[in-house]
């Protein structure tokens, strides 16, 4: 049914993924916003699962501090654009993968980025593009998958039928034009996003005072096993949406897993 290379790529999926479902994945487009610790792993997992078309978005270059967790960061890729490196590596997995790369998100290009996308994956923590992406996805009826590089595996899905991203974070920006929000306000929004993580049981106990200060300044400590755990959960949630599998982790709640004691943490809304 499939071309030989794609059949080889997806052969071991058989038994968990039906032939019809695999065809659905092949014909699906996913937009992955961010190619760092979360987004890079997500892009690779989706490609290996057989998603046939990806839109990858990032404006950064790899830095030495990315080596501890970012799957496409190597000594010889430091200083290079994440989109270019990711595209080359993903094509080594599936040479027939349809790829579009973008290096910025604006109100002018967001509809082009999201065109034909079945799912949008939010793997960035900058407040301005988060607003642009989440508003456009909601307007276009595209599910938005979100997760954070915190000590727990976590994922949630925002749709037209759930509270919006601005509502779940309690942003004071509803109804306000993106262009009218100042840089200082965007910084405060990012801090607000991070502060909401404190509503998850036990998160703060993982961070010593020095790390808490970094978090308050907008810099989250990131460790590969923890980051990749969340990336895999986000990848699977994306596939669940596409194939209509199981129960989705719908906002305002995250689906959570504490890998240190094998429990599901409590969370406030």
pLDDT in tens, 127-182: 999 999 999 999 999 999 999 998 999 999 999 999 999 999 999 999 999 999 99
Model's pTM, two decimal places?
0.95
Structural domain harbouring 33:
4-257
Domain membership of residue 245 (yes or no) is yes
- Nearest to 128, CA basis, from 190, 85, 195: 190
- Nearest to 94, CA basis, from 61, 122, 54: 54
CA distances from 12 to 25, 61, 94, 124 (A): 15, 34, 15, 31
CATH of the domain at 18: 3.40.50.720
Domain membership of residue 266 (yes or no) is no
Domain membership of residue 69 (yes or no) is yes
Assign 190 a pLDDT band (cuts: 50, 70, 90): confident
Residue 187 scores a pLDDT above 90: no
Distance, C-alpha 13 to centroid of its chain: 23
Domain membership of residue 264 (yes or no) is no
Cα distance between residue 150 and residue 161, in whole Å:
26
- Nearest to 176, CA basis, from 191, 161, 162, 186: 186
Which one-letter DSSP state was computed for residue 223?
Answer: -
Segment 174-197 shows an average pLDDT of 90
Instruction: Report the pLDDT value the prediction gives residue 197, as an integer from 0 to 100.
Output: 83
Residue 58 scores a pLDDT above 70: yes
User: Token pair of 20, please?
Assistant: 């019809």
Assign 218 a pLDDT band (cuts: 50, 70, 90): low
Contacts for 189-193 with beta carbons within 8 Å, 24 or more apart?
189/127, 189/131, 190/125, 190/126, 190/127, 190/218, 191/216, 191/218, 193/125, 193/127, 193/130, 193/169
Domain membership of residue 171 (yes or no) is yes
Domain membership of residue 85 (yes or no) is yes
Domain membership of residue 262 (yes or no) is no
Beta pairing class for 153-158 and 255-257? antiparallel
Beta pairing class for 144-146 and 153-158? antiparallel
Q: CB–CB of 30/119 below 8 Å?
A: yes
**Total count of domains within the chain:** 1
């Amino acid at each position: 049914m499939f071309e030989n290379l794609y059949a080889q790529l997806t052969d071991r999926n058989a038994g968990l993924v039906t032939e019809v479902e695999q065809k659905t994945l092949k014909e699906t487009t996913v937009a992955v916003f961010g190619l760092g610790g979360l987004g890079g792993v997500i892009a690779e997992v989706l490609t290996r699962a057989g998603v046939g078309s990806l839109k990858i978005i990032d404006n950064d270059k790899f830095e030495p501090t990315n080596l501890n967790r970012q799957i496409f960061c190597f000594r010889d890729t430091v200083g290079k654009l994440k989109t270019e490196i990711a595209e080359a590596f993903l094509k080594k997995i599936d040479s027939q993968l349809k790829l579009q790369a973008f290096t910025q998100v604006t109100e002018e290009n967001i509809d082009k980025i999201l065109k034909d996308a079945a799912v949008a994956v939010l793997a960035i923590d900058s407040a301005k593009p988060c607003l642009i992406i989440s508003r456009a996805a909601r307007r276009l009826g595209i599910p938005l998958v979100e997760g954070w590089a915190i000590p727990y595996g976590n994922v949630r899905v925002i749709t037209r039928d759930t509270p919006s991203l601005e509502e779940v974070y309690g942003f004071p920006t509803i109804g306000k034009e993106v262009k009218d929000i100042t840089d200082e306000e965007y910084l405060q929004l990012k801090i607000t996003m991070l502060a909401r993580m404190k509503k998850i049981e036990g998160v703060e106990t993982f961070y010593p005072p020095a790390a808490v200060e970094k978090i308050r300044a907008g810099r989250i400590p990131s460790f590969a096993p923890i980051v990749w755990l969340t990336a895999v959960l986000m990848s699977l949630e994306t596939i669940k949406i596409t194939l209509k599998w199981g129960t989705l982790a719908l906002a305002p709640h995250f689906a959570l897993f504490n890998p240190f004691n094998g429990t599901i943490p409590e969370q406030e809304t």
